[in-house]
A and B are shown apart, each in its own frame.
Chain A
Amino acid sequence: MYGTSAVVVGAGIVGCACARELALAGFEVTVVERGAAASATTAHGEGNVLVSDKGPGPELQLAQLSRRLWPQVLAAAAERSAHAARAVEWEPKGGIVVATTDAGARELTRFAAGQRTAGVHTEILDADALAAAEPYVTRDHAAAVHYPEDAQVQPAAAAAALLTDALAAGATLRTGCEVLGAVTCGERITAVRTSTGLLEADCFVNAAGPWSGELATRLGVPVDIRPRRGDVLVTTPVPPMVFHKVYDADYVGAVGSSAEDLQTSAVVESTRGGSVLIGSSRRRVGFDDRLRPAVLSAVAAKALRLFPALAGVPVMRAYGGFRPYVPDHLPVIGADPRLSGLWHVGGHEGAGIGLSVGSARLLRELMLGQPTEMDTTPFRVDRPAVLGGRPAPAREETA
């Protein structure tokens, strides 16, 4: 692909991962970002790289692909910038899902059995095993499953490392540059108009996160990617009390919720700095940036159900971001059928950090016309949910 130019719009983790794959494949890549790199959604979420929260299906397959790729990508990036790769704080610490009700326990056991058939490592923990793995977790639980493949990154640093590697491979970065519209020739996009001038290229990648819908509209080909707010609590540093990612099994049964109102489920984890990170909520409130104490309160209550011992630990910060989501809850990876030269990668909702590297790999293969690592038809752009068809039933997941 030497000599082919590509513009990636958006320097969130998805855009950074795409820029890296394309630059390594020989594209002349320009990353265009209206703010600073990795500063939007990517810096306002958590860094769970999970397989545990996905049932058998295309998203799980993408998660498994990504989980395989992460260590490889980081090892390769470390050869070019050891510092950037170290800052990623990759920790394959494993996840533990805890059910606190009998109904939840039944669901969890059934869910884990399904995942096992799809190749996910799961390990049922009895009370003693759970207490040994997580001494501070509630004794009042009905079932627990250990997922050794779950891992964690520091998301902004992960995006920065991917971008650093892309730049090392020849990509260029333009920050403070907003894409405003498209220049087309027939059915083909030939350039974008930006706040700092015209930018021509052979192909363009929409990686604008929760703003992907807005960007696509500006380019004349709307896609239905919307924001869904989530809030996270950060405690003051404490001595180690949480050793895995621990989360409640609430979400497993929560199929078909209206998703308009507040949903919370606790994901509790500690960071290298000693703080405990507690996520998170799900609300469809557009781009409303207001912090709602009632939401934080609900998140805190869920976390205490798992870890009663955290009641005395002070919360020193809260932040929130907007998960980019598609009404059918599957990401979008592929060419726009209406405007050739335009590609979309996004809509990963609460899993874009984990899924970024797999999605970028698929994009590269699709753009090169190579066989793909997995079937990408479920992610195609011309499906009803993306092009504004009837909304599919909502589903809940963690993170």
Chain B
Amino acid sequence: MTTRHVVVVGAGPAGLAAAEAALAAGARVTLIDSADRPGGQYHRMLPEAYGAARPERLQHGWWAFDRRRRRVLTHPRCAWWPETSVWALERPDPTEPGVPRVHVVRGPADGGRRSRLRLDPDALVLAVGAHDRVLPFPGWELPGVFTAGAAQALAKGERVVVGDRVVVAGTGPFLLPVAASLLQAGSRVLEVLEANTAGTLARGWARRPWQLAAYGGKAGELAEYTALLLRHRVPCRVGRAVVEARGDGRVEEVVTARLRADWSVVPGTERTAPVDAVCVSHGFSPQLELPVAAGCTLRSAPGGEFVAVDDDQRTSCPNVYAAGEITGIAGAPAARAEGALAGWLAAGGVPDALALRPLRRSRDQGRAFAERLAGAHPIGAAWPEWLRPETVVCRCEEADYASLCRAAGNAASRGARVAKLETRAGLGPCQGRICGPTVAELSARLTGRPAERPAEGIPAAGPHHRPIAQPIRLGELAAAPEPLPGNTESHPSM
């Protein structure tokens, strides 16, 4: 029997677990990440935040990660490709069986010319994670307004204090570790604002409490962050949000307001507060360009769109598996369980192996947790009321809300593609990663119709359609793919 070759994209909790399980099942693994170290979002950022809350837990979590990392990266059947970006997935001919061909560029993103390579694996595990989602509001484009994730990365990775007087706002439990690490870095956190009302939170979290008990680890973590905030006397308010940021060339004050359950502003509750930084987060958007390029079916959930997977983490494409936050937002332990399942099965491991039982259980608990998280921290339908005509919606191209309204108001230009070209929203360097879901939502509301049916051969104009998943320089693209290095060279399918 020839050894199966599994390519794992993403070396976060999900990808690392997938690689480990695929190796255990006997496969040859190529583990790819655009970062220079494994760990993904979680282990890149978390040690310090954990340390802030409880150092002994950090030790435990860090060591487990560190052991796994060593086991995987030093394994003779594992090729670890750091600083490697998958820039395209090339689907096979629909009439032929096969896995999408993986096209990568290798080398430091800011260095000289990177090399272009391609892989033809027997199975593919996509574990590319998610990034923060931020809704627009007047002034959100001002310097000093950060996504919570970026603020945390700065606070910890680079030891940069984002400000002395900071408000953290948005929705989701993620606000708490962000506030914790800001405190840790020496910022004064004025308040933490959760936009959802106490009623929404209670309904979301208190339903089926036994599920939460099974996910006790998460609840415990949150309790620790809460305790830390209490110690620093940081008020945490629910049903309140930052609805405007103001300042001359940089944020100087914020307007906060009380919200109803649908996130409409309760008139007369606006308050202004002087600040020098704001950190906002409205949940996470999964990075769906690679799954979409592979042809994977998506599913719509309350928190947005995710990759649809079955009980074995299989996507709708044969031999393409998905794990971690691209299938739902449930935190690192769930991502690990999904990754382990995906890796084992992608490698051809038997699906009813005993060892898979606890993994499946933990994955199912994670899914239930994700559902509750989405239920307790929804995005209220009335948030667009915060917008003004001149509010910037797409920061790259400075496209404003008025331009979206104008495009939607003209039957000739309301098609998603035409509106995009006219308003330029989503055409800039981030290619709609930030504003894409927001623009899609606003346009659907303004035109009162769902996204149009695509013509034959023309892909749907969804916010995740980015066939070039990572920028590639013209010179790199023009070069022919290089032969594969090391042991992978001898593999017959290359």
Q: Which residues of A contact B (CB under 8 A)?
A: 16, 34-40, 43-44, 83-84, 87, 154, 156-157, 159-161, 163-164, 167, 173, 175-176, 211, 227, 229, 233, 235-237, 273, 275, 278, 286-293, 296-297, 300-301, 303-304, 310-319, 321-322
The residue that A157 contacts in the complex, of B421, B454, B474, with Cβ under 8 A, is B421
Tell me what chain B mostly uses at the interface: helix, strand, loop, or mixed.
loop
CB-based contact B467/A291 at 8 Å: yes
A-B Cβ contacts below 8 A, count: 163
What are 14 A-B residue pairs whose CB atoms fall within 8 Å in the complex? A36-B415, A36-B417, A37-B418, A39-B418, A156-B417, A160-B422, A163-B411, A173-B412, A227-B457, A278-B474, A292-B90, A304-B474, A314-B473, A316-B431
What are the residues of chain A within 8 A of B454 when measuring CB–CB?
A: 35
Q: Known A160-B422, A296-B477, A304-B474; judge A43-B467 contact (CB<8 A).
A: no
The residue that A39 contacts in the complex, of B397, B456, B461, with Cβ under 8 A, is B461
The verdict on B3 contacting chain A, using a C-beta distance below 8 Å, is no
Q: Which residues of B contact A (CB under 8 A)?
A: 88, 90-91, 103, 118, 293, 397, 406, 410-418, 421-422, 424, 427-429, 431, 449, 452-459, 461, 466-468, 471-475, 477-480
What are the residues of chain B within 8 A of A236 when measuring CB–CB?
A: 429, 471
A304 to B, closest residue via Cβ: B478
CB-based contact A164/B472 at 8 Å: no
6 A-B pairs closest in CB distance: A36-B415, A287-B457, A311-B475, A314-B471, A163-B412, A301-B478
- A154–B293 alpha-carbon span in the complex (Å): 26
What are the residues of chain B within 8 A of A237 when measuring CB–CB?
A: 428-429
How far does the Cβ of A284 sit from chain B's closest Cβ, in whole Å?
13
B410 to A, closest residue via Cβ: A164
- A40–B461 alpha-carbon span in the complex (Å): 10
- A59–B183 alpha-carbon span in the complex (Å): 70
- A318–B474 alpha-carbon span in the complex (Å): 12
CB-based contact B415/A35 at 8 Å: yes
What are the residues of chain A within 8 A of B427 when measuring CB–CB?
A: 273, 275
CB-based contact B422/A87 at 8 Å: yes
Q: Known A227-B457, A237-B428; judge A310-B474 contact (CB<8 A).
A: yes
What are the residues of chain B within 8 A of A300 when measuring CB–CB?
A: 474-475, 477-478
Q: Known A160-B412, A316-B471; judge A34-B457 contact (CB<8 A).
A: no
How far does the Cβ of A363 sit from chain B's closest Cβ, in whole Å?
20
CB-based contact B412/A289 at 8 Å: no
A312 to B, closest residue via Cβ: B473
CB-based contact A315/B474 at 8 Å: yes
What are the residues of chain B within 8 A of A154 when measuring CB–CB?
A: 421
Q: Known A34-B455, A321-B458; judge A235-B90 contact (CB<8 A).
A: no
A173-B411, A319-B467 known; 18 new pairs, CB 8 Å cut-off, are A36-B418, A43-B417, A87-B422, A156-B421, A160-B413, A164-B410, A176-B453, A227-B457, A237-B428, A293-B90, A297-B478, A297-B480, A301-B478, A313-B474, A314-B472, A315-B468, A316-B471, A321-B458
CB-based contact A167/B411 at 8 Å: yes
CB-based contact A35/B452 at 8 Å: yes
How far does the Cβ of A44 sit from chain B's closest Cβ, in whole Å?
6
